Structure 1
Amino acid sequence: MHIINDFFLLVWSERLDKNVVFDEKNRAKLDQTLSTAFDNFCDSAAILCIISPHNFANMASLEEPKSLLKTLFETSSFTKEIVQHAQIQLLLYLINLGNLRVNQAIIKRLEYLKKEGIISYDVERSISGVLSLIEEKKIEIASLHVKRSSTQENYYKTALHSLSTAIENIAQALEIPRLKERLNLIPERLANQRFSIGITGVMNAGKSTMLNALLGEELLGTSVVPETANLTVIKYAKEPYAVVNFWNAKEWGNIEKGSQTLKSLEAFVKESKAHFGEKFNTLVSEKGVSERISVNDLALYTSAKHSDKKCNLVKSVELYTDLKFVQEGVQIVDTPGLDDPVIQREEITLEYLSECDLMIHLMNAAQAATQKDVDFIIDALLYRNVARLLVVITRIDAIKEKELQEVIAYTKRSIEARLREQNKGAKLDEIIAKIVFIPIAGKLALMHKLGREQEALALGYDMQKTGLPLVEAYLEEVLFGSNSQKANLIIASNQKEIESIIEESLRSFEQEFQLLNLSNEEIEQAYAKHQDDKKAMMHFLEQIKSSVAQSKEEMRNYFTTLQTFASNRLSTLQNVLKRRISDDVSYEMSKHKKLPKEERVASIIETAMKDGMVDLVRDYRYEFQKKMQSALEYMDAKYGEFKSDAGERTFDAKAFCEEHLSSVLLFKNSSVVIAGVNDAIKKQGKNDLSALNMSLDALFNEEFSGMKAMIHEKLRTINETLLESFSILIQAPASAIEERFLGEEALLENAMRQMKDATQNREARMLEIKEKERVLGIVLDDLHVLKESK
């Protein structure tokens, strides 16, 4: 109020004889004028402020003072009372606004009026002095609440909670829509991660018993006859249920084809067809049938004892349960026995195991390590990329402690001997280091879980002695501990993405803060320069995008070359394999006058095919990597400034190829071809090598034709993934430049709007930026602590 009194004493030499009140109906008009026509508002305010008794008559004769009264206060009269009322309302508005930028702009106009001789020095000093008394409106920015992570569970869950807390904190500070979209994708990506455990072993090894003990519920039947006669994938769901998947016609056709060579499979096929008769085609259809069933009915489809042979036609089962152990993306792959007569089920098992984070192989303590066990363990570790292997020795309650140690020692010796036999001795220490042995009494552990602990205790086994807690602790550490490769990869990749989002947001805030400190003239100059740079930058980016599109098309065409390369390598492998067998038969006949043993033939075929496929995939990776690296180097050479402008780019081509090509390592079960080769050797090996070679040609042509089709289809899918990843990789620097450039443009455009709109308070925005930078800084520090605490 004293400001208005001072104004009237200085301008009108009068005191106000009544309290003044701001008329709210004026606010909307004044706000609109200020925000849409800043210069006009300040011009009008300066003219209104200088109207006094000394110039009132002259002002009344001019159109501009009348016009500004009409614009700001919607009145066309020009009387002393109306002018004074308008001056009071203007001053009250400026006091309430508390914006120094507006007041200073009006004072500048008063200085101009004095310079032009329209008002005197004393008038300018007096009115400017009154306006300078208007205090800057105190800006209060609400503090953002920063949550802190408090969960202390295993490494993975603790890290997940930390990332979720970070995402929640960041969300309240982010402003750029593109960064918000990136942040919103992370929770979904974390939720979709999978940890896979493969359970393997020969029939009657105790897989179902141990699995029931782990899950704490007798879901899977246990019996002396094979119960889980198919692959069962156990996943999490709040409401338990199961899905049964039957063979389709093509898959069953392959089973029937195999039965022509393998007698065990022949009996299985005949039994199945005879048992189901006309109903067979309702379960084995062209596309394949799936049924959703109750968990309680599982045995009616999977048990060899209870399913009325229906288990013969079941390819796999998906079991959904609410048990805690399969939460957090864990899935358990419970496999049929390794001695399953249906080799197609073994092939499905092997394909699943190639993606397992952990394989648990069970061996009955009373049977020690069979040849099948040892071969499977070596195959898994040598050829199927199984990173960790837990060997569980079951039914330890049936043998003595000394015998148990002998079983473990014998298993290790058998693995070493088999590796040396295959000339893999150099990998001995590496493979043995991946194996952990834990002995358990599964049935007694299950008693404890089912509330029958007294029975187990009576036999001298508390829960700890059953060995199951050791298995659970091992699983916890391998899947979710700080040394878990997959857990670390998941956490590290998503943490890196969060940090990238924070850092980009902080850079944007810093740029905006610098703009807010510039004068209007400097902002206009910066915007004009950016518009000039934009044309050159857009032209530069178009050139880069054109080169990227060309590189992508060249890579697409190169995949055709790689497909041919893979096919030729398989043809070479086929010829090598045929020659090795033919040479071995010839050598044995000339040297020892007898045919090679069937086991030796089997070893030659399996080793040659697996090593051949490993070599094929390795060379395929190398050829793709070489081509990709060449494309990247071309871009760097052609657009050197582009590379440096985009910042330091690091790229691990080897890791990239391994990530995308790991699933190509696909092997078919060799039982059929081994049986066929041995049969041909028996018939023709002694008397007619020429006829043997013709038989081998026919066998291998059929086998490798199927393999070429399989790998062609596999590579076709993977090549699309590789191409998309390559495309993203090669255009990432250009995308980063474009995003940064457009981000800067958005900041400049916003600064231009703020410059013209005085209702946008710069000081308030600067405080808001600092508060959001504080939050992002805290989250970034917490993420660094998470990384260091691993």
Structure 2
Amino acid sequence: MHVINDFFLLIWSERLNQQAVFDEKHKRELDQIRSTTFDNFCDSAAILLIINPHNFANMARLEEPKTVLKTLFQHTIFSKETIQYAQSQLLGYLIYLGNVQINHAILKRLELLKKEGIISYDALRSLGSILSLIEEKKIEVTALHVKRATPQENYYKTALYRLFVAIENLKGAVELPRLQERLHLIPERLENQRFSIGITGVMNAGKSTMLNALLGKEVLGTSVVPETANLTLIKYAKEPYAVVNFWNAKEWSKIEEGAKSLKSLEAFVKESRAHFGETFNTIITPKGESASIPVESLALYTSAKHSDKKCNLVKSVELYTDLKFVQDGVQIVDTPGLDDPVIQREEITLEYLSECDLMIHLMNAAQAATQKDIDFIIDALLYRNVAQLLIVITRIDAIAEKELQEVIAYTKRSIEARLKEQNKGAKLDEVIAKIVFIPIAGKLALMHKLGQEKEALALGYDMERTGLPLVETYLEDVLFGSNSQKANLIISSNRKEIESIIIESMASFEQERHYLTISHEEIEQAYAKHQEEKTVMAHFLEQIKTSVAQSKEEMEHYFGTLQKFANNQLDKLSYVVKRRISDDVSYEFSKNKKAPKEERIGSMIETAMKDGLVDLVRDYRYEFQKKMQSSLEYMDAQYGEFKSDTSAHHFDARAFCEEHLGSLLIFKNSTIVISGANDAIKKYGKNDLNMLSTALDAILGTEFLHVKEMLEEKLHKINHVLLSSFVSLCEAPARLIEERFSAEEALLEKAMRQMRDATHNREARSVEIEEKVRVMGIVLNDLSATKESK
């Protein structure tokens, strides 16, 4: 060991009588002293190293050098031999450690001794040169493998794969259990994401044929007699099966109530009651029955031809398939025709459609742009928050190219005319801008998918000409392209979560590295200070808990206030609808001596109801947002001095309302009230306006009672989520503060345990942390690059 030999030549001006060899029997004792009393170890090492021939006699008279000799090496005799032996063993131990941080700590003590005049400048320089000769020991730590992401078939899948790769890379780097748990939840959340496609159209529009072509298999019936007379949800499962959901008693009672006003519905109810007789109540129950069945048996429940009338009692069907089209989280809402006589089914259908990410409306080229089509298109784009509507014109193989262009032009003219009828002509450009037209030959496309391409080609249609590839490209782009709002939201929110986990982990590692460089006394001081701050923090958290409880109670009370507000708005809307009908009837009879056209009354009621309900929802959201803003500002103020500790947490009432109230829409079919109003006009409009007013009160009273029930039921569900989310939002900063304090406390306790652990290797741990931080840095850079390349 040349360092030890150099020490004795430089300090003692002599060589050791025997070869300098570190005796490892001293390792355990020295490790124990260094781990438990780091400062004392460094002090003792400095005192031992400064003993030389020039100060030996003076040092022998002092108690401290003797104590050092006894503490470090259990020698009680202070002699040249014992001192030289102790110095050689200490240097051997420092060489064994190869820890530059410890050497620097000893050098700092030597500098203090020089400053106090205890050693000379030459002695300091000599000892400093000796310590500098001790080489830093290289700690071997197995490098963590970093997997790199590769491009996938579309933007969303590529971005998704990058997130999964990032998570995989972080599994070996993230240590805190709380952060590991958060990391573990992300893949499950990503795999459960769903992209919904709503399919609408009148009966015989070709919905089933197009869906079968998209799915690549004849899953749905395509007869002119509708096979999918019910709402059908198509989802993915490894093992195909189906679930049939029947109406519950309350839902069926509404159907029977509607049958009193609508003859088509009356015949449907009578047929159903007569056919099932006493068994009716075993199928239509208060709770609502469901049956899981093989896919092959589906027609026995849904087919108008084969179900033995069971399709009358079915509300909806869930069809689970292993087909590729629905593998990546895609689910399809296949609706019954818009001309379905069971109008209650339309309301349920619209509820499902309101949550779809994309809507496709089909129109038969030979029967395009019916009144039902146009009304649905306008309704979807003006009232249902549909951002873009794909209109698929089907069966184009039955018409000429020139006729196809006329169908599109006619559809646009019909939309314009209908908007003008409703005094919404100014909305034309807004509506048309949201529509994309794609013509297809669905049956011929299905032939290609089923291996019958020769027959399709014989008719002059290759796959490209059928138009289906355009639909598939459109769906791919809207759902999974770089401009997909939902795809970007999913990627962005989960990327931010991963980044947050990395940043918290790196901060924790940085804090731990700091604790690895300081003394045991400094760690204990830091722990004591932390406990003082923790007491203050606990008192603060108790105040926050009280404030949150008060805010929760206020919010619960406010829900009742909002319900009354909504009911008052509905009462006003009922009065407005009645006044418009009465004024129009009075005007027509006084000027033209006849009743207004039924279509006009229908349009008036439909428009007034939709506009009124949209206004109601908008006003409800506005009032709620005001209250929410006030409550959140109050909570924000409560955090006071701790605000900086919550990672600049800011409450956002608008974002909260958008997230939780964005889907608050009311879907009510007005067919019954329109029919009732027209009947009342025929009966009383000409001779008795007072009786007409009374009849309209009864009709509208029943209608708006149903609307109030619908709204109350919807708000009951939403309010539960709102309250839970509100409380969670208010408590979030407090949780962050508490988690930070707990994490810091755990690090301090870990540091103190490590100080007492003689086997703990600070240097190895420091290198291990460095490797994990390196991996996190790579992942963080990759995530940032992904964000910038979008």
TM-score over 0.5 (shorter chain)? yes
Alignment of 1:638-677 (within 5 A): 641-643=641-643, 646=646, 648-649=648-649, 652-677=652-677
The aligned counterpart of 1:194 is 194
- d(CA) in 1 for partners of 2:517, 2:191: 43
Q: Are residue 235 (structure 1) and residue 235 (structure 2) matched?
A: yes
Instruction: Indicate conservation of the 8 Å contact 1:38/1:758, yes or no.
Output: no
Alignment of 1:294-373 (within 5 A): 294-373=294-373
Distance verdict in 2 for CA 1:111–1:442, change over 3 Å: closer
Alignment of 1:211-610 (within 5 A): 211-514=211-514, 516=516, 526-610=526-610
User: Which is worse superposed, 451-460 or 123-132?
Assistant: 123-132
How far has the Cα of 1:706 moved from its partner? Answer: 1.9
User: Which is worse superposed, 731-740 or 118-127?
Assistant: 118-127
Instruction: In structure 2, list runs of 5 or more residues that go unmatched.
Output: none
Q: Deviations over 1:433-478 (max 9, x none)?
A: 1111111111111100000001111111111111110110110001
Q: Which amino acid aligns with 2:154?
A: N
Q: Deviations over 1:291-348 (max 9, x none)?
A: 2122222222211122222211111111111111112211000111111111121111
Distance verdict in 2 for CA 1:107–1:222, change over 3 Å: closer
The aligned counterpart of 2:163 is 163
The aligned counterpart of 2:709 is 709
- d(CA) in 2 for partners of 1:125, 1:480: 69
Alignment of 1:107-146 (within 5 A): 135-146=135-146
- d(CA) in 2 for partners of 1:18, 1:568: 97
- d(CA) in 2 for partners of 1:36, 1:42: 12
Distance verdict in 2 for CA 1:401–1:68, change over 3 Å: same
Distance verdict in 2 for CA 1:18–1:774, change over 3 Å: closer
- d(CA) in 2 for partners of 1:291, 1:633: 49
How far has the Cα of 1:370 moved from its partner? Answer: 0.5
Q: Deviations over 1:667-726 (max 9, x none)?
A: 221112222222222222222222222222222222222221221121122122222333
Q: Are residue 174 (structure 1) and residue 174 (structure 2) matched?
A: yes
Q: Which amino acid aligns with 2:148?
A: R
Alignment of 1:731-746 (within 5 A): 731-746=731-746
TM-score, reference length from structure 2: 0.88
- d(CA) in 1 for partners of 2:775, 2:366: 62
Q: Deviations over 1:275-298 (max 9, x none)?
A: 223332332223222121222222
Q: Deviations over 1:155-181 (max 9, x none)?
A: 111110111112222333223333323
Distance verdict in 2 for CA 1:444–1:21, change over 3 Å: same
How far has the Cα of 1:549 moved from its partner? Answer: 3.2
Q: Which amino acid aligns with 1:716?
A: H
Q: Which amino acid aligns with 2:687?
A: N
Q: 2:217 is paired with a residue of what secondary structure? A: coil
Q: Deviations over 1:376-400 (max 9, x none)?
A: 1111111111222111111111111
Q: Are residue 700 (structure 1) and residue 700 (structure 2) matched?
A: yes
Q: Which amino acid aligns with 1:413?
A: R
Q: Which amino acid aligns with 2:430?
A: E
Distance verdict in 2 for CA 1:18–1:614, change over 3 Å: closer
- d(CA) in 2 for partners of 1:305, 1:537: 71
Q: Deviations over 1:476-498 (max 9, x none)?
A: 00110111111111112222222
- d(CA) in 1 for partners of 2:742, 2:68: 44
Q: Which amino acid aligns with 1:691?
A: M
- d(CA) in 2 for partners of 1:269, 1:184: 52
User: Which is worse superposed, 678-687 or 101-110?
Assistant: 101-110
The aligned counterpart of 1:684 is 684
Distance verdict in 2 for CA 1:14–1:655, change over 3 Å: closer
Instruction: Indicate conservation of the 8 Å contact 1:101/1:758, yes or no.
Output: no
Distance verdict in 2 for CA 1:100–1:520, change over 3 Å: farther
Q: Deviations over 1:561-586 (max 9, x none)?
A: 11111111111112222222222222
User: Which is worse superposed, 669-678 or 480-489?
Assistant: 669-678
Distance verdict in 2 for CA 1:106–1:451, change over 3 Å: same
- d(CA) in 1 for partners of 2:136, 2:49: 20
Distance verdict in 2 for CA 1:387–1:346, change over 3 Å: same
Q: 1:392 is paired with a residue of what secondary structure? A: strand
- d(CA) in 1 for partners of 2:720, 2:298: 38
TM-score, reference length from structure 1: 0.88
Alignment of 1:80-95 (within 5 A): 95=95
- d(CA) in 1 for partners of 2:736, 2:462: 61
Distance verdict in 2 for CA 1:17–1:326, change over 3 Å: closer
User: Which is worse superposed, 184-193 or 172-181?
Assistant: 172-181
Q: Which amino acid aligns with 1:699?
A: I
Instruction: Indicate conservation of the 8 Å contact 2:680/2:695, yes or no.
Output: yes
How far has the Cα of 1:401 moved from its partner? Answer: 0.7
Q: 2:227 is paired with a residue of what secondary structure? A: coil
Instruction: Indicate conservation of the 8 Å contact 2:393/2:438, yes or no.
Output: yes
Q: Which amino acid aligns with 1:583?
A: D
How far has the Cα of 1:369 moved from its partner? Answer: 1.0
Instruction: Indicate conservation of the 8 Å contact 1:198/1:356, yes or no.
Output: yes
User: Which is worse superposed, 546-555 or 296-305?
Assistant: 546-555
Distance verdict in 2 for CA 1:405–1:6, change over 3 Å: closer
Instruction: Indicate conservation of the 8 Å contact 1:174/1:505, yes or no.
Output: yes
Q: 2:204 is paired with a residue of what secondary structure? A: coil
- d(CA) in 1 for partners of 2:92, 2:514: 32
Q: Which amino acid aligns with 1:427?
A: K
Q: 1:359 is paired with a residue of what secondary structure? A: strand
Instruction: Indicate conservation of the 8 Å contact 1:34/1:757, yes or no.
Output: no
Q: 1:245 is paired with a residue of what secondary structure? A: strand
- d(CA) in 1 for partners of 2:286, 2:683: 38
Instruction: In structure 1, list runs of 5 or more residues that go unmatched.
Output: none
Q: Deviations over 1:610-660 (max 9, x none)?
A: 111111111111111111222333345565544456454555543432321
- d(CA) in 1 for partners of 2:126, 2:396: 102
How far has the Cα of 1:231 moved from its partner? Answer: 0.6
Instruction: Indicate conservation of the 8 Å contact 2:5/2:15, yes or no.
Output: no
The aligned counterpart of 1:210 is 210
User: Which is worse superposed, 450-459 or 414-423?
Assistant: 414-423
Q: 2:594 is paired with a residue of what secondary structure? A: coil
How far has the Cα of 1:779 moved from its partner? Answer: 1.9
Instruction: Indicate conservation of the 8 Å contact 1:171/1:180, yes or no.
Output: yes
Q: 1:664 is paired with a residue of what secondary structure? A: coil
Q: Which amino acid aligns with 1:371?
A: Q
- d(CA) in 2 for partners of 1:784, 1:256: 59
- d(CA) in 2 for partners of 1:357, 1:20: 73
Distance verdict in 2 for CA 1:119–1:211, change over 3 Å: closer
Q: Which amino acid aligns with 2:660?
A: H
Distance verdict in 2 for CA 1:295–1:84, change over 3 Å: farther
Q: Which amino acid aligns with 1:719?
A: N
Instruction: Indicate conservation of the 8 Å contact 1:261/1:676, yes or no.
Output: yes
Distance verdict in 2 for CA 1:271–1:528, change over 3 Å: same
Q: 1:625 is paired with a residue of what secondary structure? A: helix
Distance verdict in 2 for CA 1:534–1:593, change over 3 Å: same
- d(CA) in 1 for partners of 2:24, 2:726: 65
Q: Which amino acid aligns with 1:310?
A: K
The aligned counterpart of 1:776 is 776
Q: Which amino acid aligns with 2:419?
A: L
Q: Which amino acid aligns with 2:149?
A: S
- d(CA) in 1 for partners of 2:646, 2:370: 58
Q: Which amino acid aligns with 1:728?
A: S
- d(CA) in 2 for partners of 1:319, 1:83: 88
The aligned counterpart of 2:727 is 727
Superposition CA RMSD, Å:
4.1
